[in-house]
Chains A and B, each alone.
Chain A
Amino acid sequence: MNTVYRSLLMALFLTCILASPANVFSCGPTFPTTVFVWKGAPDIPRAEYIAGRLGIVQQSFNHADLFVAYRYLSGRPLSAKEQIVLARPRGGDEADDSTARLKTEWMSARQAITGDPLADEIPVDADFQSAGPAGFSFYRNINPDAFARALRTLRERAARFGDRSPYVINWVRAQDTAFNSVRLQRAPSPADAGAPALVRADRDYQIASARFYMRDYAAAESLFAAIGRDEASPWMTMSRYLVARSMIREATLLAPNRDSVLLLAGAYLKQLLADPRMQEMQRSAKDLLRICRFRTHPHETFAELDREFSSAPLSESIRPAFQDYLALLGGAAVKPPAGCSDFVDWLFTYGHRADTTGFEHAYTRWQETKSEAWLIATLAHATPNGLRAAMLRRTAMNMPSSAPGGLTAAYWSVLSLIASGQSDLAQYLIDRLLGDETVVRSPSATNLLLQARAGIARTLNEYLRSCCQRPYGIESEHGSGPEQWTSRAALFAPPASTLNRFIPVATLDTLTRSPLLPVSLRVSLSRAAWVRAVLLHNDRLALSLGAAIGNADTALRPFMDPYLEAHGAPERQFAAAFLLLKNPGLHPSIRIGAERSAGVNEIDDFRDNWWYSGNLAIECLAWQAYHSSWEEELKLKGDSVSPPPFLSAQELQTAESETAALKALPAAATYLGRIVTSYAGAHPGDPRIPEALHLVVRASRVGCTDDASSTFSRRAYQILHRRYAGSHWADITKHWY
């Protein structure tokens, strides 16, 4: 019995020892990124941008938005009708939204008739594995117009036969089968021979549609063709059109000789377009024909569309063609095709061209056209010190601010002035633009100007006036866009790095009272400065900052009093460690962009808690820290930030030694664990000790660690369970991690 007992004890002991891995974790992979300047598209409300209030037109905008800009910049503003066409969401987004909406409507409508919900999701998207090397294709099998047509037909048949009519219920069941036919691999059964002609015609159409959805395109083509010959069928014209759809779908998915099938489909569509009975299908047939040509003759199609859109007004009817045009434009080579329109030439010159010939070409085109579009392209490529650059800047600065390209031209002039060493003039121009109420500004445009001004600041105060910005929004897995939490001002990357690397903590302290900074940023700055002062053993400053935080920072106020009231250095150091352990959001650095999503006293799920050693002691964790070449990136990042010119040699030297001291610190879990375990040994009666020991174990679990962290974490665990066994904190610290 004794042996068994001893064996059991030994086994449990071994379990404890062996089941204690080091305190290492991975850190989360996805973080929302604060966006100060949105580069892909305008951040002005879309309707305003389309109405010609362009803000700063960036070279990186997508082609559709550059098209809008070009129209205004070249003196051909969009008409009210064209603005409506362009204001609609584009391509895939619109298709996804309308498909989801119409599918939901259809499901409700059919359930209202049958009384039962669908057992399976309708397979809107499908996949197909071809026998050849193409492999799997994934495609949208049921377009939104199919749901719209089903809804319309259901309403009409219910009105004609009645909601409870077996004809209507059977029609719905057949439609369910048709929509699900790719999965079922069967079509609905034919209608009874004795059923009304309309019911039989409907069923024939549903059977043909099912064949289409289940990729039996030959059968679908033949069945649609048969319906198309039936003058009495309400589906006659639609079915004739769907013959072409079947051919094209077959060509893109199945046919090894794609182009020849598309050519056949094209010839068939031309016949349809010539048929007066197909009047209602003209627009759809034209779109299909263009799709055929898009595939078989891309260059010619692009040239045709380019000619069309350089002169013809945009309308709803040619919107699909416009989208094809943009798609072809996106796939074009970097060099504009010969004989292209002025828009395409400008787009490639302004948006893509990086070589030295860009300036000469743009300058020539500006001389020829005198359009704002080419002036901006010329400024973007101008060498700053050339005579022509000075002349271009003068022209730009004389443009009225209300001109569509006024702000963009002014922005390029600012950059050119800075590059030519005329910072005073650049600053004057920026201040004038920022103070001009008539200038159309967006968060991105304002931030671009502020970033330019921060780069030429001559004093710390000038710098502060520029480095604090209101972000445009966030970029995350869900896309990009403004969010409520980004409405607070934040620091963009260079100023945050400058404050973290080149400003001594004593100067940071003065900034915490600067009226040039918004209150929210001063709170963040105070917290970082206090942590810095504590870590650098600058007690005088830490106490003064602590007192200020105790007065103003409601989140930290309850924790600060014990620190301020501590007697002697060891107790104060412990009180600071205790405060830090309870507030994982505290860090010796100022954060780039928005605050971490968890509150200052909350644990972040992806280990954005306290500080790490090395560079991350002076830079907060951010999405960049999870980059594959993380270490290299941080190394580069450190080198790429230069000290601003307004700091004295003395300030830079002090900051350098402080930065070196912070970098040499161990990770927070080790630093805090060492203080707490040491203090616990000397002050076993302090009532805060059990909780502090628990928090040390937690810190090694949820914060980034170094090689020594596990030592202090284990020590804390052992002290807690040996000396404070039975306490609440020992009870909830069940394992040493």
Chain B
Amino acid sequence: MCPLNLRPGRTTLQDMSFFTRSISVLIPLHLVFCPPAESSSARVALPGVVLWAWERPEHLQFIDPGRVAVAYLAKSIAVTERGLSVRSRMQPLGVPEGTSLIAVVRLSTARRSAPSLLVSQTGGVVAEILGAARIKGCRGVQIDFDAKKSERAFFRVLLAELRKELPDSLSLSITALASWCLDDNWIADLPVDDAVPMLFRLGPDRRAILRRLASGRDFSSPVCRQSMGLSLDEPFPRFGRTRRIYAFNPHSWTQESYSALMKDIAR
């Protein structure tokens, strides 16, 4: 539990020196419990805006590669009882020269998959993901997997193996359910550079989550505090504007939707 905002609560002015002393103890405690996300200087910093390009023809020649990166769906891997079912991207992707690319791999499992069965297929999944990361201009890999509780051990093992095998120059990120970044914080020690909280399609708790974040109470998990995932068909939240924005478009990107996004971000 690592909140960013340090509200004094009921501390009075008379207690201030005492409060200051307390903070001096609290900060080391904070660092012990909330270590910064693992990162490497070899990894190139990504721009502040990343467009998600899903499995459809995407012609993004209009983007500014200095300000915008592209995370494109490279592969979908279904882990089933019969083995891996892999679908590589077959749709074109147009980007300007020099665009930073992130290869997104969507993972899914069959209903009620046995956890041991998943773990036994880790090697195959890692090999497939590594294959997706070989594209020119690739700066990182992002895993999109809504892991159920019973699948968390598999996901943890997979990410550890993947981090070992990935070149140090490539970042490793995951998309994260907002709950993972809040109170069901099981991802804090995953070996990833970034966990992108998906702040769209939030369901019934949408208002409560956005209100909480707007009030300044940040995600519990530090690994979730670098980026946020938003969708063009939902209102943008009014917080975290200094973070990297991953933008999802339910339709193919156009010059118009891109310009609208950049304007919205600048506002």
A residues neighboring B (CB under 8 Å)? 3, 6-8, 10-12, 14-15, 17-30, 32, 96, 100, 120-121, 123-125, 127, 129, 133-140, 183, 476-478, 483, 485, 597, 603, 605-607, 612, 616, 621, 625-630, 701, 704-707, 735, 737
How distant is the Cα of A629 from the Cα of B177 in the complex, in angstroms? 18
Task: Let me know if B209 is at the binding interface, CB within 8 A.
Answer: yes
Cβ B112 vs Cβ A625 within 8 A: no
From residue B124, how far is it (CB to closest CB) to chain A in Å?
A: 9
Take A29-B146, A121-B131, A628-B233 as given contacts and tell me if A135 and B200 are in contact as well, using a CB distance cutoff of 8 Å. Answer: no
Which chain A residues lie closer than 8 Å to B86 at the CB level?
100
From residue B109, how far is it (CB to closest CB) to chain A in Å?
A: 9
Which chain A residues lie closer than 8 Å to B78 at the CB level?
477-478
Interchain residue pairs with CB less than 8 A apart (9): A10-B25, A26-B197, A27-B204, A125-B88, A125-B89, A140-B90, A478-B80, A478-B110, A607-B179
Cβ B9 vs Cβ A14 within 8 A: yes
B residues neighboring A (CB under 8 Å)? 1-3, 5-7, 9, 18-19, 21-26, 29, 59-61, 78, 80, 85-95, 108, 110-112, 127-128, 130-131, 134-137, 146, 148-150, 177-179, 182-184, 197-206, 208-209, 212, 217, 220, 231, 233-234, 250
Cβ B205 vs Cβ A19 within 8 A: no
Which chain B residues lie closer than 8 Å to A705 at the CB level?
205, 208
Take A8-B25, A136-B135 as given contacts and tell me if A27 and B205 are in contact as well, using a CB distance cutoff of 8 Å. Answer: yes
Cβ A704 vs Cβ B134 within 8 A: no
Cβ A626 vs Cβ B1 within 8 A: no
Take A24-B182, A183-B134 as given contacts and tell me if A477 and B9 are in contact as well, using a CB distance cutoff of 8 Å. Answer: no
Cβ B212 vs Cβ A21 within 8 A: yes
Take A22-B212, A28-B146, A29-B198 as given contacts and tell me if A15 and B29 are in contact as well, using a CB distance cutoff of 8 Å. Answer: yes
From residue B202, how far is it (CB to closest CB) to chain A in Å?
A: 5
Which chain B residues lie closer than 8 Å to A28 at the CB level?
146, 177, 203
Cβ A26 vs Cβ B205 within 8 A: yes
Cβ B59 vs Cβ A135 within 8 A: yes
Cβ B95 vs Cβ A135 within 8 A: yes
Take A7-B21, A19-B3 as given contacts and tell me if A138 and B112 are in contact as well, using a CB distance cutoff of 8 Å. Answer: no
Cβ B205 vs Cβ A24 within 8 A: yes
Cβ B61 vs Cβ A139 within 8 A: no
16 more A-B contacts (CB under 8 A) besides A11-B23, A25-B205? A7-B24, A8-B25, A11-B29, A17-B9, A22-B217, A129-B136, A136-B92, A138-B92, A477-B108, A606-B148, A621-B204, A628-B233, A630-B206, A704-B205, A705-B208, A706-B208
Cβ A704 vs Cβ B108 within 8 A: no
From residue A8, how far is it (CB to closest CB) to chain B in Å?
A: 6
Cβ B22 vs Cβ A735 within 8 A: no
From residue A100, how far is it (CB to closest CB) to chain B in Å?
A: 8
Cβ A138 vs Cβ B1 within 8 A: no
Cβ B90 vs Cβ A138 within 8 A: yes
Take A25-B178, A129-B136 as given contacts and tell me if A628 and B234 are in contact as well, using a CB distance cutoff of 8 Å. Answer: yes
Chain A residue nearest in CB terms to B8: A14
Take A11-B29, A27-B205, A476-B111 as given contacts and tell me if A18 and B135 are in contact as well, using a CB distance cutoff of 8 Å. Answer: no
From residue B255, how far is it (CB to closest CB) to chain A in Å?
A: 13
Partner of B18, one of A6, A29, A477, A735: A6
How distant is the Cα of A434 from the Cα of B212 in the complex, in angstroms? 54
Which chain A residues lie closer than 8 Å to B19 at the CB level?
10
From residue A30, how far is it (CB to closest CB) to chain B in Å?
A: 6
Which chain A residues lie closer than 8 Å to B205 at the CB level?
24-27, 607, 704-705
How distant is the Cα of A121 from the Cα of B149 in the complex, in angstroms? 30
Cβ B29 vs Cβ A133 within 8 A: no
From residue A580, how far is it (CB to closest CB) to chain B in Å?
A: 18
Chain A residue nearest in CB terms to B72: A136
Take A134-B92, A626-B203, A630-B206 as given contacts and tell me if A11 and B22 are in contact as well, using a CB distance cutoff of 8 Å. Answer: yes
Enumerate the 5 nearest inter-chain pairs by beta-carbon distance, A residue then B residue, closest first: A135-B94, A19-B1, A26-B178, A27-B203, A25-B179
How distant is the Cα of A129 from the Cα of B92 in the complex, in angstroms? 10
How distant is the Cα of A607 from the Cα of B137 in the complex, in angstroms? 39
Which chain B residues lie closer than 8 Å to A605 at the CB level?
148-150
Cβ B183 vs Cβ A123 within 8 A: no
Which chain A residues lie closer than 8 Å to B233 at the CB level?
628-629
Cβ B202 vs Cβ A26 within 8 A: yes
Cβ B184 vs Cβ A25 within 8 A: yes
How distant is the Cα of A121 from the Cα of B206 in the complex, in angstroms? 42
Chain B residue nearest in CB terms to A32: B111
Cβ A21 vs Cβ B178 within 8 A: no
Chain A residue nearest in CB terms to B177: A26
Cβ B18 vs Cβ A597 within 8 A: no
Which chain A residues lie closer than 8 Å to B87 at the CB level?
96
Chain A residue nearest in CB terms to B5: A18
From residue B178, how far is it (CB to closest CB) to chain A in Å?
A: 3
Which chain B residues lie closer than 8 Å to A129 at the CB level?
135-137
Cβ A701 vs Cβ B184 within 8 A: yes
Which chain A residues lie closer than 8 Å to B1 at the CB level?
15, 19-21, 735
Chain A residue nearest in CB terms to B107: A477
How distant is the Cα of A14 from the Cα of B10 in the complex, in angstroms? 10
Cβ A127 vs Cβ B135 within 8 A: yes
Cβ B18 vs Cβ A10 within 8 A: yes
How distant is the Cα of A477 from the Cα of B55 in the complex, in angstroms? 14
How distant is the Cα of A3 from the Cα of B18 in the complex, in angstroms? 9
Which chain B residues lie closer than 8 Å to A603 at the CB level?
149
From residue B209, how far is it (CB to closest CB) to chain A in Å?
A: 5
Cβ A121 vs Cβ B203 within 8 A: no
Cβ A25 vs Cβ B209 within 8 A: yes
How distant is the Cα of A96 from the Cα of B88 in the complex, in angstroms? 10
Chain A residue nearest in CB terms to B18: A10
Cβ B146 vs Cβ A616 within 8 A: no
From residue A547, how far is it (CB to closest CB) to chain B in Å?
A: 33
From residue A166, how far is it (CB to closest CB) to chain B in Å?
A: 30
